[in-house]
Copies of this chain bind each other. A is one copy, B any other.
Amino acid sequence: MKYDKILLTHGSGGQLSRQLIEELILLHLGNPILSRLDDAAQLEPESGRLAFTTDSFVIDPIFFPGGDIGKLAVCGTVNDLAMSGALPKYLSLAFILEEGLPIADLERIVLSIKQTAAEARVQVVTGDIKVVGRGDAHKIFINTAGIGVVPAGVNISSDKLTVGDKLIVSGNLGEHALAVMANRAGIEFNPALLSDVAPLSGLVADMLNVCPQIHALRDPTRGGLASTLNELAKASQVGIVVQEECIPVTEAVLGACELLGFDPLYLANEGKLLTFVAAADADRLLAQMRQHKYGARAQLVGEVIAEPQGLVQLKTAVGGTRILDMPAGEQTPRIC
């Protein structure tokens, strides 16, 4: 590359834009569809319902223990597709770059996108680059949108929770938000707290294989387990009871939460899911999940009850009950 930092001209649509696209983006992410550089990617017809989702990523810092904004941008959208039961297939990738961003940083992010997309078996097929002046953005923002295909017979939705359903959580909670916040605050833990950011499409495919009739699947990102359960309880007009002592949280996260004043049930995760299934299917599903590296610490943590509708109750280890509300304020800005 002719320059070592991003210039406004890299976003102009002219020669320097083209050089950036060819020598950095296509070099690492090129494939027969993306490399055509047409205004829109042309995709072969799909049989089956499509899933379509989008997320923008504004995380600060852009490199953090366990991942970076590029890995996060792939996983976030792949996981949203997977949570609808879809097999993720195609991603769009749009960068907003701040003038002055080191091109070495951009390349590191693009390589991370390449690696994560390969693991998740999705293809980046279309994209965009915009550059804004110094101070008009913070280093780099990424948007990804994704298309997936929903297998026949799969019918997953937030309003399908049924009284008696069991709630399974795929692994330890709170790691992403804590890793990012601790890093931003300059706090180091020993051993290091790492973000859990990971693509969950493989785990979901395994789960649907043994249990295609899963009722609901969600990834507890912003707002954590508590927000997600509240949304599901409201959408399905049921109550949810969670057993606190069953929720998988590491000692390290509990300690850091105590130190920093956070509740792990409200912290964002980027490589975890929760699922509701009929009680008869729960043990079989749990066993299958534990065979996958991203589900090895899965736990059965709660169940669906009829009343009170829309409320999430936490049964504490000491025998009490408290209501897990939606978070009212901003706990954790720019963690995704």
Contact = CB atoms under 8 A, between A and B. Distances in A.
Contact of A42 (B17, B49, B146): B49
Contacts of A136: 58, 60, 137-138, 334
A56 B14 contact: no
Contact of A80 (B40, B47, B51): B40
Nearest to A219: B39
Copies in the complex: 2
A37 to B, nearest CB: 8
A199 interface: no
A31 interface: no
A54 B145 contact: yes
Interface in A70-103: 79-81, 83-84, 86, 90, 92-96
A90 B49 CA distance: 14
A222 B46 contact: no
Nearest to A95: B56
Contacts of A132: 58, 138, 333-334
A238 interface: no
Best-surrounded residue of A13, A55, A132 (most CB of chain B within 10 A): A13
A157 interface: yes
Contacts of A37: 158, 231, 235
Contacts of A127: 54
A209 interface: no
A36 interface: yes
Contacts of A11: 222, 330, 333
Contacts of A157: 36, 38
A319 interface: no
Interface in A108-155: 125-128, 130-133, 135-138, 141, 143, 145-148, 150
Interface stretch (A163-171, A246-254, A321-329): A321-329
Contact of A331 (B12, B45, B58, B130): B12
A80 to B, nearest CB: 4
A221 interface: yes
Interface of A: 7-9, 11-18, 36-58, 60, 79-81, 83-84, 86, 90, 92-96, 125-128, 130-133, 135-138, 141, 143, 145-148, 150, 157-159, 218-219, 221-223, 227, 231, 235, 268, 326-334, 336
Given A40-B52, A40-B81, A136-B138, 10 more contacts: A13-B268, A14-B326, A14-B328, A16-B328, A39-B219, A43-B51, A52-B147, A54-B145, A58-B136, A133-B333
20 contacts: A15-B327, A36-B158, A38-B84, A38-B158, A39-B84, A40-B51, A40-B83, A43-B51, A44-B50, A45-B46, A45-B49, A52-B147, A53-B92, A54-B128, A54-B143, A54-B145, A56-B94, A56-B143, A58-B130, A58-B137
